[in-house]
Structure 1
Amino acid sequence: MIEISPPDPRALARWFPTHSPGPAMIGEHVLATGIGRWWADRPVQPSTAAVSCAGHVVLRGSPEELTPALLAPLAGNRVEAPARFLPALGAAFDRLTPWERMIWTLQATPQPATVPHAVTVRRLEPADTDAVHALGPDASWLSASWGGPPGLAASGHAWAAMARNGRVLAVACTYFRGTGHEDVAVYTIPDHRRHRIALACVTALCADITSRGHTPSWNCSLHNRASRLLAWNAGFRLVGEYVHYAVGSPVAHHRLSA
Structure 2
Amino acid sequence: MNAVLSDPVRAASLFSGRDDVSVRACLEGTMGAIMANDADRPTSAVAMVGDFVFTGGEPDPALLEAACSRSTSGLSIVVPQDAAWSRLIERMPGRRAEPHTRYATSKDPDEFDRMHLHRLASALPAGVALRAIDEPLWHACLDQDWSRDLVAQLDPYPRFAELGVGVIALESGVVVSGASTYVRCADAIEIEVDTRPDRRRHGLARACSAALMLACLDRDLYPNWDAHTPASLALAGQLGYRPDHAYDAYLVTGA
Q: TM-score, normalised by structure 1?
A: 0.79
Deviation at 1:247, TM superposition (A): 2.4
**Which position in structure 1 is the counterpart of 2:231?**
226
CA offset digits 1:96-131 (Å, max 9, x no partner): 221111011463434633124533212101122332
Matched-pair contact (CA < 8 Å) for 1:16–1:25 = no
- Number of aligned residue pairs: give it: 239
Q: Secondary structure at the match of 1:130?
A: helix
Gap runs ≥5 in structure 2? 69-74
1:62 aligns with 2:58: yes
Structure 2 CA distance for partners of 1:12 and 1:99, relative to 1, 3 Å: same
Query: Cα distance, 1:205 vs. partner?
Result: 0.8
Decide which of 60, 64, 67 is 1:71's aligned counterpart: 64
Is 1:247 the counterpart of 2:246 in the alignment? no
Within a 5 Å distance, the mapping from 1:203-218 to structure 2 comes to: 203-218=210-225
Percent of residue pairs bearing the same amino acid type:
25
Matches within 5 A, 1:1-258: 2-9=2-9, 11=10, 13-17=12-16, 20=19, 24-30=20-26, 34-63=30-59, 66=60, 68-75=61-68, 76-81=75-80, 82-93=82-93, 94-105=95-106, 107-109=111-113, 110=116, 112-113=119-120, 114-116=123-125, 118-134=127-143, 136-147=144-155, 152=160, 155-165=163-173, 167-221=174-228, 224-249=229-254
Letter in 2 for 1:72: E
> For the residues of structure 2 that align with 1:249 and 1:49, how far apart are their CA atoms?
22
**Paired AA for residue 200 in structure 1:** A
State the alpha-carbon separation in 1 of the partners of residues 154 and 29 from structure 2.
Answer: 8
Match of 1:255 in 2: none
Q: SS at 1:174's partner residue? A: strand
Q: Which amino acid aligns with 2:67?
A: L
Whether contact under 8 Å (2:146, 2:196) holds in the other structure is: no
Are 2:30 and 2:185, in contact at CA under 8 Å, matched by a contact in 1? Answer: no
SS at match of 1:241: strand
Structure 1, unmatched stretches of 5+, are: 251-258
Worse-matched range after superposition: 94-103 or 71-80: 71-80
Equivalent residues of 1:199, 1:230 under 8 A apart = yes
- Superposed CA RMSD in Å reads 2.8
Query: In the aligned structure 2, how far is the partner of 1:164 from the partner of 1:243?
Result: 41
CA contact (8 A) 1:35 1:147 kept: no
TM-score where L is the length of structure 2: 0.80
Distance 1:123 1:16, change over 3 A: farther
SS at match of 2:147: helix
Q: Is the CA contact (8 Å cut-off) linking 2:146 and 2:195 kept in structure 1?
A: no
